[in-house]
Homo-oligomer: A and B are copies of this chain.
Amino acid sequence: MIQFSINKTIFLQALNITKRAISHKNAIPVLSTVKIDVHKEGITLTGSNGQISIENFISVQDENAGLLISTTGSILLEAGFFINVVSSLPDLVLDFKEIEQKQVVLTSGKSEITLKGKEAEQYPRLQEVPTSSPLVLETKVLKQTINETAFAASTQESRPILTGVHFVLTENTALKTVATDSHRMSQRKLTLEKAGDNFDVVIPSRSLREFAAVFTDDIETVEVFFSNNQMLFRSEHISFYTRLLEGSYPDTDRLIPKEFNTIAIFDTANLRQAMERARLLSNATQNGTVKLEIVNQLVSAHVNSPEVGRVNEELDTLEVVGDDLVISFNPTYLIEALKAIDSDQVKVSFISPVRPFTLVPNNETNDLVQLITPVRTN
């Protein structure tokens, strides 16, 4: 029967990371538990919601953890409850001891808490992902890519494939990442420093957001592995599994226009604030749009809600070239696109009032392009 002692803070940190994969209300009751495997080398904490699974390893070598293992074994404990109990313990050190009937006694200071656990055999087996020939990615780069694209994925299950982000590696170093909900699209291209085997997968955007929360900035690189329908991100202590979306992702390359009739360069923050004002009133209109007018190189934004009122705003620009234009669109799409642009200036390029327009950072060193479809108004 398990027995170990550990630093409470380190144990709690590891539990909280694992908890990100655990849903309190899971259709499969055993998935609301955390699995604790105690072996000679350390402790592995496992959590899963069926979509993503996280394994977190605390090594006996880790001096901060102060991990002393007397007896090994495995057990399941109700995750949310167990974490609350551990975080409430009075002392810096906690003793964990399994007693009869799968019960666990936690002792810390003068406090002694006994919890009922479950047989570890009840826990489902995680699907295995072969770990040969890893692709090594910088965590920072991967997280920025997620930040730039995942928001544009669909949140509706009507076309499940669009709830994912399309990751494609070609020529061993050319990574393309793209997400679209069919109203807007965001695509980031980049060249990897280290070559890897080509792949073409669609990763659920929700999994990517959890990935970004679990892999903190102190983890410099992650190894990436694929199986048919699973993917594994692995760092020294954390293994993060996510299922992949099945089906073929639509061809998005053909959507990106190359030639434009009107181009305007804005200060990114100014344009975003103007759209946030416009949105306050466009939310109260029937089609929820803002109208952008470009006349004689002057750009203005207009919303007219018969119920609430009107916005009329002259927008500062750094440069405007090309034809006059009047175009209507959902300001939320523009606001979210601008949030993902890490550049002081943004270049917005239009073809016509009925064709999608593009946004690119004006200091374009990399290759980020966003697309927004206008709304036809009469």
Q: Which residues of A does B touch, CB under 8 Å? A: 78, 81, 84-85, 88-90, 103, 110-116, 270, 273-274, 276-277, 280-281, 307-316
B115 near A309: Cβ-Cβ < 8 Å: yes
Partner of A277, one of B81, B88, B310: B88
Partner of A116, one of B85, B90, B114, B309: B309
A277 near B314: Cβ-Cβ < 8 Å: no
CB nearest to A85 among chain B residues: B280
A110 near B273: Cβ-Cβ < 8 Å: no
Partner of A115, one of B81, B274, B277, B308: B308
**Distance of A309 Cα from B81 Cα, bound (Å):** 11
**Distance of A315 Cα from B111 Cα, bound (Å):** 8
**Distance of A90 Cα from B269 Cα, bound (Å):** 11
Across-interface contacts of A114 in B (CB, < 8 A): 309-312
**Distance of A78 Cα from B308 Cα, bound (Å):** 9
A113 near B311: Cβ-Cβ < 8 Å: yes
A110 near B276: Cβ-Cβ < 8 Å: no
Question: Closest Cβ of chain B: how far from A375's Cβ, in Å?
Answer: 21
Across-interface contacts of A316 in B (CB, < 8 A): 110
**Distance of A311 Cα from B308 Cα, bound (Å):** 58
A281 near B111: Cβ-Cβ < 8 Å: no
Partner of A276, one of B81, B88, B311: B88
A308 near B116: Cβ-Cβ < 8 Å: yes
**Distance of A25 Cα from B89 Cα, bound (Å):** 43
**Distance of A334 Cα from B312 Cα, bound (Å):** 57
- 16 A-B pairs in the complex with CB atoms less than 8 angstroms apart: A81-B280, A88-B273, A90-B277, A110-B313, A110-B314, A110-B315, A111-B277, A111-B313, A112-B312, A112-B313, A113-B309, A113-B312, A114-B309, A114-B311, A116-B307, A116-B309
